[in-house]
A and B are shown apart, each in its own frame.
Chain A
């Protein structure tokens, strides 16, 4: 039981996130109103994705130095769950934006244009597409050692591309997306103290959920490999 303490922590933190996230007071901002609570859900998806991608690239680097295929399996699965969370972050962002920034007076096709020209959205899409290509690359190589080596190197480049496309360039361009001056959620002065109380545990909770799901996938993968080798 003590071995799985972090899974219990994950459940507790997620339950806290939902309860406190919906019931605790939040600052009243004109355009966002109650949707500011999405900070604990939409923004957490991206944070969890970044952490999972970081773990993935660390495993890729470890693979390149040890050539242990287990590291490659771990790298792939962390990247996979990271992509899922990124997609969820994108989808939830689209929903949130359509109720807040998108002008309700514009017909749907007109506001689509203004959203699609949004640098942060393009940057995030680019980053996710680069990770999709990681999986395409993996499936194109049949030899497992070659597959592991080439995709580990690609993973490092994919990770490096996250920074200019999601964090740096969108902050330099005029944008409607929150967070123009400095880092919106991590900036100590920018985020209200009441929100910090829920936001930090939420990041940990969602990340732990991502890790839990990934470890299950890894264990399943390793079991399959073992069965395959003992057959």
Chain B
């Protein structure tokens, strides 16, 4: 997210996109990080879901 901040100052040229991160492959690191966070949150929610299902069946 640093790229947009820097690019915002250099506004006179045509829109600068984050091609650097894409060209050196680091964007995939960002994707991996976000997917990991998402996976962690989803697993947490799924675990809660299973716990509640078990409580409901227990009655």
Contact = CB atoms under 8 A, between A and B. Distances in A.
A216 B52 CA distance: 7
A35 B27 contact: no
Given A19-B35, A99-B8, A28 B15 contact: yes
A18 B46 CA distance: 19
Contacts of A35: 4
A22 B28 CA distance: 9
Interface residues of A, number: 27
Nearest to A223: B55
Nearest to A30: B15
A15 interface: yes
Main DSSP-derived SS at the B contact region:
helix
Interface string A1-43: 0000001000100110011001100001111111100000000
B11 A30 contact: yes
Contact of A104 (B3, B9, B31, B46): B9
A146 interface: no
A194 interface: no
Interface string B42-58: 10011011001001100
A31 B38 contact: no
A31 B5 CA distance: 10
A99 B52 contact: no
A34 B4 contact: yes
A83 B45 CA distance: 19
Nearest to A215: B49
A220 interface: yes
A226 B59 contact: yes
A34 B14 contact: no
Q: Which of B9, B27, B42 has the most CB of A within 10 A?
A: B42
Given A18-B35, A22-B31, A31 B17 contact: no
A18 B40 CA distance: 14
A19 B38 CA distance: 11
A213 interface: yes
24 contacts: A7-B46, A7-B49, A14-B38, A14-B42, A18-B31, A19-B31, A22-B30, A22-B31, A23-B27, A23-B31, A28-B14, A29-B15, A33-B8, A34-B17, A34-B18, A99-B4, A99-B8, A100-B4, A212-B45, A213-B45, A216-B49, A223-B55, A223-B56, A223-B59
Interface of B: 1, 3-5, 7-9, 11, 14-18, 27, 30-31, 34-35, 38, 42, 45-46, 48-49, 52, 55-56, 59
- Enumerate the 6 nearest inter-chain pairs by beta-carbon distance, A residue then B residue, closest first: A28-B15, A34-B18, A35-B4, A30-B15, A18-B34, A219-B52
Given A33-B7, A219-B52, 16 more contacts: A15-B35, A18-B31, A18-B34, A18-B38, A22-B30, A22-B34, A23-B27, A30-B11, A32-B4, A33-B4, A33-B18, A100-B4, A104-B5, A209-B45, A223-B52, A223-B55
